[in-house]
Structure 1
Amino acid sequence: MRRKSIRRIALAAGVTVIALSACFGFLLYQPLMVASGYTSKEICSGTFVSGLDPDQVYADMVEPEGAIGYISPLIRFDVNPEQREVTTTIAGFYKTRAVYGEGMGCMLVHQPDDVNLVAAADVDTVIGLSDSQGPEIAGNAMVETKNERLRAALDRAFAEREQPPYIRTQAVVVVKDGKIVAERYASGIGVDTPLLGWSATKSVTNALIGILVRQGKLNVDQSAPIAAWQDEKDPRHLITINELLRQTSGLALKQTSSGFDPASRMIFLERDMAGFAEHAELAAAPGSQWAYTDGNFILLSRIIRDAVGGRASDVRQFAQRELFGPTGMEHVTLEFDATGTPNGAMSMLASARDWARFGQLYLNDGMAGTDRILPEGWVEYSASQTLDTGYGAGFWINQAVSGNAPYGLPWGMPHVPQDAFFAMGNMGQHIVIVPSQHLVVVRLGMSHHPDGLIAGADRLVADVIEALADK
């Protein structure tokens, strides 16, 4: 009897271990696939769009993110220069693949036919994609300032720590009265190097929506034109474009960037990002609560795609003709998912000068030279406060409120004039617009220390304003 009991206990224990292992594996499947997809996608973009060293991209951008450092010994990525693709596995499993296409950057491949979209981009060049006629902010050579205090401000922005977490500033551009007065770049990066803006891309989506509003194709107060929500019995049919822009849609698309969250799944596991987002239920009544999520801007990206023709090439032509060309943005890559929807939440790469030109558009109230790009009042609308937050409509505003913004960051920049507003992205991407100073300051990097995040941007802009006051 005792042997039988021991066998039963051992069998039960074995079954329990197997069940727990299966459960644990199931729970970890999504975050490990997200980690693999993140590695493939960002190394692909960094290598084939920005022209950076893939090992350095991994070390600076990928490995320090979240818990990836703990599993780093298990991660293997392979860069294929001939096929222009990156493949990643974790412990030999969780395989993902990202492929580069000329003019549309890198895209995660979820099924064999997905590569057709990338291949089409290589052969179907967008007419006028390289044309730009916007106001010039500098010549071809890098602008080096003679202002000692301004040089000191740049020195401070590029100063590096001796140990991790590092600051990794890649570029700083200062535009005063419409002209670059100072700029600096890290080794291997120049005036033409496209750099990832992360969530600063949301502000570009704001601009594309604004252009469609100017053209009379959209209205911010209209219900979002999403087919899945059109039944009046569906409470989501009340969600407006304004609420998507202001992050008050109420959709249950929580974003923690942990790999477990719906937003991470949407970006790195779903071939149709907007299709995933549109099926989210409501967690709050539209307009009642602020909750930051990429999902709102992926839905706006689908709205833009459908409004301009429905294809990736239509979006590229529209963005070039209506925004990039008129503002003089020459080195821009807007990336897409496998359905041709732009990732307008976090995936546009542009040179630091181009990000500065974008900021200049908002400094000039939506005008590029004598051409009106954004509708009258759009900049004021974009920089107006949402509920009790430091957020506007696709831009952050310099409003000090209680508590912290997402990821524990402070709201606003306390040492910068209150009229400032800014585009902001992960790892310290900032395009800061200060109307009272006729100033745009761009800071881009791969930062994992507060000195490279909003606190560092606050200090940099304050230092620049002080240095220029002594001019």
Structure 2
Amino acid sequence: MRKWIALALAVLIAALAGAGIHFRPDRAIRVATGYVAHNICSKAFVSGFDPQSVFAEISDRAGIRRLRHLLRFDLDRTARTVNASTLGLFRSRAAFHEGFGCVDVHGQDQPYLLKNDVEALKAKAPPSLPEIAGPTVVEPSDPTLKAALDHAFEEPAAPPFRRTKAVVVVHDGKVIAERYAPGVGIDTPLLGFSMTKSVVNALIGILTQQGLVTPSMPAPIPEWRGAHDPRREIEVEHLMRMTSGLDLDETNSGFDPSSRMFLEDDTAAYAVNSKMSAPLGKRWAYSSPTTQILARIVRDAVGGPEQTLAFAWRELFNPLGMRSVTLEFDVTGTLQGSTYMLASARDWAKFGLLYLNDGFAGEKRILHPDWVDFCAAATLDTDYAAGFWTNRSEHPHAKGRVRAGIPRDAFFASGDLGQRIMIIPSQRLVVVRLGDSVDPTGDIMGVARLVKEVIAAMQEPSFRDGPKDQIRNLEILGGARVPPSSLRAPE
């Protein structure tokens, strides 16, 4: 029976493709099999998870769920590859390379293999950021805080399930509570999905601090330099805020430009070659390909793929003491900046501390002095900032999060399936939640409850004995902010 289903599907798709149908289902199915192959590869070979369990979780997410009875995968531990298909059709492959994670393999072309020795890139000297915890899991001593973690891990009676993998709570630079699901530990690298966009934001911020890039400079894309090309007016900030007007809107349909990008060897070239479909700076649309353009800007600014990896370790991960990071690249050697970085929950928390501490790692300034407020300010009338989402907005979503218990000054990195780094300056607090929630909101209300209960626990006497001058009650105004003049390029 399945053979006849596969044959009928192939005939139908061939007919549609031959008829010139724009929304070709074969491409959408390849997007799905590519997602399955890549995510099983990363989670099995990098995170160390059981591939069957990973497949079960992946096949429960929206978009994949419709195909789950047709999907098949094969993991080859000798070749270190994962193949996925729908009943043998529309095959996709991902290959694992030690130190560099997984890469999608298209056709017969071999992917660009970086030549770095990743272990050699990791600094042996102490990091600039003081260590946030010891070698064992930090169990909460306060019963209210323990209850907050209990609630973050409890499952509802019916779907959608929460599937929390890790929670880390950092207050005043120290872990005060953490918990992990079975099979996950303090050093387990976990996929951040679109939290990787926030890491690209940091890399752009470092380049800004070093004087190599400014948000207001025209995006250094040679393909856009034609005298009559409207794209020549696109600035780096437009890409950061996803207001470029490029035809790269993301809908997660399998047919949208963001999905199709992952079928290409050169993901950034695909994004760069798109046309304008909206006025520059006037419309916001979420767009992973836009971040891929920023990833290419980073690559070109520092000199290439190997230099990108070395730059990230030297300027960002080592100063923060992030030891578990795996950055993944596309076939051509461009950082998969929209989606694919893995790190332990503690390392994701250390990244959050960089922004909580206004761009400092300990006494070392990493980001431009105005960078954090600039990147946490709302874009147009949305609750998106620049590589982060923000409560510093009048948007209904931001107001809803405030009502649910996430303070007004909070901003956060966010990734698919509920990956979150909540950064709350007024509470000197970073809360990391990682997992595989198939709730369409990424279990944002569960995260809001976690934050609210953590803050309530911090009102206990043991949390209120510190110096009064350490407590900052920030009054953050909503709406978009004018970028600080020091971040503007010279006229």
Instruction: Note whether the superposition's TM-score is higher than 0.5.
Output: yes
- Partners of 2:54 and 2:198 lie apart in 1 by 24
**What's 2:246 paired with?**
251
Equivalent positions of 1:88-99 (< 5 A) are 88-99=84-95
Change beyond 3 A, Cα 1:88–1:288:
same
**Residue of 104, 110, 113 corresponding to 2:100:** 104
Change beyond 3 A, Cα 1:23–1:436:
same
- Say whether residues 1:375 and 2:368 are aligned partners: yes
**What's 2:318 paired with?**
325
- Partners of 1:101 and 1:368 lie apart in 2 by 30
- Say whether residues 1:179 and 2:163 are aligned partners: no
Q: Which amino acid aligns with 1:38?
A: Y
Change beyond 3 A, Cα 1:85–1:240:
same
- Say whether residues 1:436 and 2:433 are aligned partners: no
Q: Deviations over 1:90-116 (max 9, x none)?
A: 12111111001122110001143424x
Equivalent positions of 1:154-193 (< 5 A) are 154-193=149-188
Equivalent positions of 1:60-209 (< 5 A) are 60=57, 62-115=58-111, 117-118=112-113, 120-121=114-115, 124-125=117-118, 127-129=120-122, 131=124, 133=127, 134-209=129-204
Q: Which amino acid aligns with 1:283?
A: S
**What's 2:37 paired with?**
40
- Partners of 1:24 and 1:403 lie apart in 2 by 41
**What's 1:310 paired with?**
304
- Partners of 2:337 and 2:279 lie apart in 1 by 24
Q: Deviations over 1:217-242 (max 9, x none)?
A: 11110000011001131000100001
- Say whether residues 1:22 and 2:22 are aligned partners: no
Aligned-residue offset at 1:24: 7.0
- Say whether residues 1:284 and 2:278 are aligned partners: yes
Contact 2:62/2:438 (<8 A) preserved:
no
Q: Deviations over 1:413-461 (max 9, x none)?
A: 7412111111011111110011011100000000013685221111111
- Partners of 1:41 and 1:100 lie apart in 2 by 9
Change beyond 3 A, Cα 1:455–1:96:
same
**Residue of 417, 425, 428 corresponding to 1:427:** 417
Secondary structure of the equivalent of 1:114?
Answer: coil
Secondary structure of the equivalent of 2:66?
Answer: helix
Q: TM-score, normalised by structure 1?
A: 0.91
- Partners of 1:20 and 1:49 lie apart in 2 by 35
Secondary structure of the equivalent of 2:458?
Answer: helix
Aligned-residue offset at 1:163: 3.4
Q: Which amino acid aligns with 1:55?
A: Q
**What's 1:220 paired with?**
215
Contact 2:246/2:278 (<8 A) preserved:
yes
Aligned-residue offset at 1:66: 2.0
Q: Which amino acid aligns with 1:454?
A: I
In structure 1, runs of 5+ residues without a counterpart are 1-17
Q: TM-score, normalised by structure 2?
A: 0.87
Q: Deviations over 1:110-134 (max 9, x none)?
A: 143424x34x55x744632364613
- Partners of 1:65 and 1:287 lie apart in 2 by 33
In structure 2, runs of 5+ residues without a counterpart are 1-10, 463-491
**Residue of 345, 351, 356 corresponding to 1:352:** 345
Contact 1:413/1:455 (<8 A) preserved:
no
Aligned-residue offset at 1:173: 0.2
Aligned-residue offset at 1:404: 5.6
**% identity of equivalent residues:** 49
- Partners of 1:177 and 1:310 lie apart in 2 by 37
Q: Which amino acid aligns with 1:72?
A: R
- Partners of 1:433 and 1:392 lie apart in 2 by 13
- Partners of 1:397 and 1:306 lie apart in 2 by 29
- Partners of 2:13 and 2:384 lie apart in 1 by 43
CA RMSD of superposed structures (Å): 2.1
What number of residue pairs does the alignment pair up?
Answer: 446
- Partners of 2:242 and 2:213 lie apart in 1 by 18
Aligned-residue offset at 1:388: 0.8
Contact 2:381/2:393 (<8 A) preserved:
no
- Partners of 1:323 and 1:344 lie apart in 2 by 15
Aligned-residue offset at 1:67: 3.1
- Partners of 1:451 and 1:306 lie apart in 2 by 35
**What's 1:265 paired with?**
260
- Partners of 2:394 and 2:252 lie apart in 1 by 24
Q: Which amino acid aligns with 1:89?
A: S
Equivalent positions of 1:382-421 (< 5 A) are 382-399=375-392, 401-402=394-395, 414-421=404-411
Change beyond 3 A, Cα 1:395–1:88:
same
- Partners of 2:440 and 2:35 lie apart in 1 by 23
Change beyond 3 A, Cα 1:451–1:67:
closer
- Partners of 1:438 and 1:374 lie apart in 2 by 19
**What's 1:10 paired with?**
none
Q: Deviations over 1:301-354 (max 9, x none)?
A: 00001111112x211110000000001111001111011110111111110000
- Partners of 1:301 and 1:452 lie apart in 2 by 25
Q: Which amino acid aligns with 2:94?
A: A
Secondary structure of the equivalent of 2:348?
Answer: helix
